[in-house]
């Protein structure tokens, strides 16, 4: 009986160690992961495990991205983590609202956004 309890304990311990390994602290990330996820460095150790998993997945796919996709991913990370918690919540709510729209409305929003992105910053500032 004691032997089976020891086996169960070892199994549970190894499973919990595996779970912890899936969400390492910033210092335990691989150099390549730290490089890709650099915009998240200050907040990494305070993130919940689901968010860490998401970002680690992005870091894993990063090398397969085109340079333009890599640049965009870096900008999005930096921009996201420069937002306040209230601003992040507002973005999440807008995203949920847009996801509920019919496909043609979503395509129209994407088209307008692409047009906006292609205008110069000077022109954007003057149009406000």
Ordered per-residue pLDDT tens for the chain, 128 residues: 555 444 444 444 444 444 444 578 999 999 999 999 999 999 899 988 998 999 999 999 999 999 999 999 999 889 988 899 899 999 999 999 999 999 999 999 989 988 888 886 666 655 54
Dihedrals φ, ψ of 20, to 5°?
-65, -35
Q: Are 38 and 16 in contact (CB under 8 A)?
A: no
Q: Output the six-digit token pair for 68.
A: 């333009």
> Using CA atoms, how far apart are residues 68 and 117, in angstroms rounded to an integer?
15
Predicted confidence at residue 114, as pLDDT, reads: 86
Predicted confidence at residue 22, as pLDDT, reads: 53
DSSP 8-state symbol, 46: G
Q: Output the six-digit token pair for 125.
A: 């500032």
């Amino acid at each position: 009986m004691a032997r089976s309890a020891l086996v169960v304990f070892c199994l549970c311990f190894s499973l919990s160690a595996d779970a912890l390994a899936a969400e390492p602290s910033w210092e335990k990330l691989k150099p390549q992961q730290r490089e890709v996820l650099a915009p998240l460095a200050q907040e990494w150790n305070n993130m919940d495990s689901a968010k860490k998993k998401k970002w680690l997945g992005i870091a894993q796919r990063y090398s397969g991205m085109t340079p333009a996709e890599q640049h965009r991913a870096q900008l999005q990370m930096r921009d996201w983590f420069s937002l306040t918690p209230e601003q992040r919540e507002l973005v999440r709510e807008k995203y949920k609202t847009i996801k509920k729209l019919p496909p043609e409305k979503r395509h129209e929003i994407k088209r307008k956004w692409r047009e906006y992105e292609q205008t110069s910053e000077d022109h954007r500032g003057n149009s406000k």
